[in-house]
Amino acid sequence: MEQRVRVLIDCKDAKGLVYKISKVFYDRDLNIDNNREFVDKEQGKFFMRTVVSGDFDIDELEGAIKAVIPISANLQVIEPKRKKIVILATKESHALGDILIRHEAGELDADIEAVIANHDTLEPLVRRFDIPFFSVSAEGMSREEHEEFMMELIDEQEFDIIVLAKYMRILTSNFVAKYPKQIVNIHHSFLPAFIGANPYKQAHQRGVKIIGATAHFVTDDLDEGPIIAQDIIPVTHRLEWRDMQRAGRDVEKIVLSRALNLVLNDRVFVHGNKTIVF
């Protein structure tokens, strides 16, 4: 039966890997629809993403690939399908609104299972798109107590990725550890500069000539997780920090959308604290 899969491989580099893997596809009369590979020479690491199609058995194909790559290799054979996401938000609407519109227009290759926020400010916006909305106030709770309620709601959903659409709370180690490499955040500055609160004000005070946005996976290190996508725009001394903030919000939407498309289409390898993006 004709089908298509994405084959993701990262392993120790060795001679002939591309040939050996390609031969597995050739021997099964499979078509290589797309192929990218990269070698990190400093670390001696090999990365490859290949999309193949044809008539094959997935388990047999996976076994054949494993036979020609190092034993310690990470191999994924993924059937392309729409992934599911849960969005966390606070009060700012621009990042969330952009995702909702793209989803409604069929531009987001994912299904939004729910939006969960720590305020009810965005509920009317979300309800317009007929998507479940949950509000969990943090008032009177410790960070840990609030996250317990958040995690209960999240775990009730079927999801692949958690998106922080301007979720303005620092996550605890317990929360991050529960969803490794599953949390995508949009940060309102060009990391690693100006981490934490009020980055546009920090940037204005430094007299920067560019501002930007960064989408990254969340780790225990605040705003220092592996970077997925970034972009910038030029600014001048004529802009006050609030003008920079307004301009920056447009960049944030674009960068978050770009990062989501990469992650949803299995184009991102996490390599230490950086990414290989195909």
Active site residues: 223
Contacts of 7 (CB under 8 A, 6+ apart): 21, 48, 49, 50, 51, 52, 65, 75, 76, 77, 78
Other Cβ atoms closer than 10 A to 184: 25
Can you tell me which residue has the tokens 């299995």?
266
Contacts of 206 (CB under 8 A, 6+ apart): 194
* Peptide bond preceding 70 in cis form (omega within 30 of 0): no
Residue type, 158: E
Buried b (16+ CB within 10 A) or exposed e, 242-260: eebbeebbebbbebbbbbb
